Amino acid sequence: MDKKSKRKRQLNGDYRVGYCRPPESTQFKKGQSGNPGGRPRNLPRVATTLQLRKDILTAMEREVTIVRGGKTEKVPAIVAAFDRLLLKALNGHYRSLELVIQLRRQLIEEHSEMQAQLMGTVLKVDEAYEAAIAATPESEAEIKLGQLKFRASPNTREAVRRATMDILKDDC
């Protein structure tokens, strides 16, 4: 059946509704699209500094499979990359060795700064404790250190010292 005779039957009212033959009232009119808005465009991804940092950290933390000592294990990508860098340095690659030494120095400096900050916190707690005890009776003394607030007692002082020292030991 050609298209012209089919169209004539539709115009005469001989059109039968049924399977794969929707009613004429629900069919698209000539020249009318079934999707007038069209397909939405994919907007280009906005590369902000924050998004870039997030993407880099996500990529670094993605697990990869490596072989160590004949056994396969999954480790974060950054660990695998550092292992490879260290291996190159040990095999005599000068630039890799330089980079490993530089990273080590930087980590030691940051670690030392953190320890100094923790020791400063211990000293501040001691000073706050002494000031609180000197100003009020021991049963009512409160220590305020930044957002922290607690009762002053010999037990408190020792607990804070021990906790700080434990942190320092763990970091070493």
Consecutive sets of 10 residues in the chain, 172 residues long: mean pLDDT of each?
A: 58 76 84 81 84 92 92 94 93 93 93 86 74 63 63 65 66 53
**What pLDDT, on a 0 to 100 scale, did the predictor assign at position 149?**
66
The pair phi, psi for residue 51, each rounded to 5°, is -65, -40
**What pLDDT, on a 0 to 100 scale, did the predictor assign at position 38?**
83
The answer to the question of residue 163 being in a domain is yes
- What residue type is 78 in one-letter code? I
Residue 72: CB atoms within 10 Å: 8
**What pLDDT, on a 0 to 100 scale, did the predictor assign at position 103?**
93
- Please enumerate in sequence order all residues whose Cβ is within 8 A of that of 112, keeping only pairs 6 or more positions apart, or say none: none
- In this predicted model, what pLDDT tens digit does every residue of 135-172 receive, in sequence order? 665 555 666 666 666 666 666 666 666 766 666 666 55
The answer to the question of residue 143 being in a domain is yes
Q: Write out the H or E segment, with its range, that includes residue 52.
A: helix 49-61
The answer to the question of residue 106 being in a domain is no
Query: Which of 65, 89, 91, 90 is CA-nearest to residue 76?
Result: 65
For residue 162, the enclosing domain spans 111-172
The answer to the question of residue 126 being in a domain is yes
> What is the domain count for the chain?
1
The DSSP symbol for 81 reads H
The answer to the question of residue 130 being in a domain is yes
The answer to the question of residue 70 being in a domain is no
Give the pTM. 0.47
**What pLDDT, on a 0 to 100 scale, did the predictor assign at position 82?**
93
The answer to the question of residue 85 being in a domain is no
The DSSP symbol for 2 reads -
The whole-angstrom separation of Cα 52 and Cα 112 is 29
Matching residue, tokens 């993605």: 62
**What pLDDT, on a 0 to 100 scale, did the predictor assign at position 65?**
95
**What pLDDT, on a 0 to 100 scale, did the predictor assign at position 152?**
60
Residue 60: CB atoms within 10 Å: 13
**What pLDDT, on a 0 to 100 scale, did the predictor assign at position 35?**
81
The answer to the question of residue 141 being in a domain is yes
Beta strands 63-68 and 148-151, pairing class: unpaired
